[in-house]
Amino acid sequence: MRVLGIDPGFSFTGYAVVAQEHNKTYLIDFGYLKLPQSRSLQERVAIFHDQLEHKIKSYQITHLAIETPFLGKNAQNFLKLGYLRGILYLLSHKNNLILSEFAPTQIKQSLTGFGGASKEQVARILFQLFPTLVKPDKYDATDALAISLCGLWQRKQLF
């Protein structure tokens, strides 16, 4: 089982690939994609699609995990996030992936035991789980890792 966790964003998209083999969890890849703001909206959506499709195929992903969106202060950003989520649904369908969605509080709860944990607290737990993890420049990457682990743990509970 291989889970690709995605924290979508129009500037930076966090991603993480984890695998479960013989009751051991492996971190295969994680980081973030930079979607250049100098590019048009259509170009950024295409970059998002192409890069994630490449990861799905090259890592033989079986499951996709994403965070449910919440309406923040900017409705326009929320709308644009919907474009990226649509791409994730399309990629999931095209590649026969099992798609799971998790609320931000659910992700934080599963990692830290507290649904209101900060991004720093979540990252600290991830560094304990993966001691060789190199701190990324953006929390988008650690958020994606938390999302992918939530997807992995949920799948394990169903079996």
pLDDT value of residue 10:
85
Helices (H), 59-138: 75-94, 104-112, 119-129
Q: What mean pLDDT comes out for the span 30-34?
A: 94
Residue recorded with tokens 């509970």: 157
What pLDDT, in 10s, does the model give residues 96-133?
999 999 999 999 999 999 999 998 999 999 999 999 88
Number of domains in the chain: 1
Helices (H), 95-118: 104-112
Most confident range (mean pLDDT) of 123-127, 136-140, 154-158 is 123-127
**Separation CA 81–CA 41 (nearest Å):** 11
Helix-helix angle 104-112:119-129, to 10 degrees: 40
Q: Which residues are catalytic?
A: 7, 67, 140
pLDDT band at 154 (very low <50, low <70, confident <90, very high): confident
Sign of CA dihedral 86, 9, 144, 55: positive
Domain that residue 138 falls in: 2-158
Q: What mean pLDDT comes out for the span 17-33?
A: 93
- Read off the tokens for 55: 């990861």
Domain of 128, CATH number, reads: 3.30.420.10
Contact 48, 33 (CB under 8 A): yes
**Separation CA 16–CA 39 (nearest Å):** 24
Question: Is residue 41 within a helix (H) or strand (E), and if so which, with residue range?
Answer: helix 41-58
Q: Pairing mode, if any, of strands 63-67 and 24-34?
A: unpaired
Between vectors from CA 33 to CA 29 and to CA 35, what angle results, nearest 5°? 170
pLDDT value of residue 127:
93
What pLDDT, in 10s, does the model give residues 68-85?
876 566 677 777 788 999
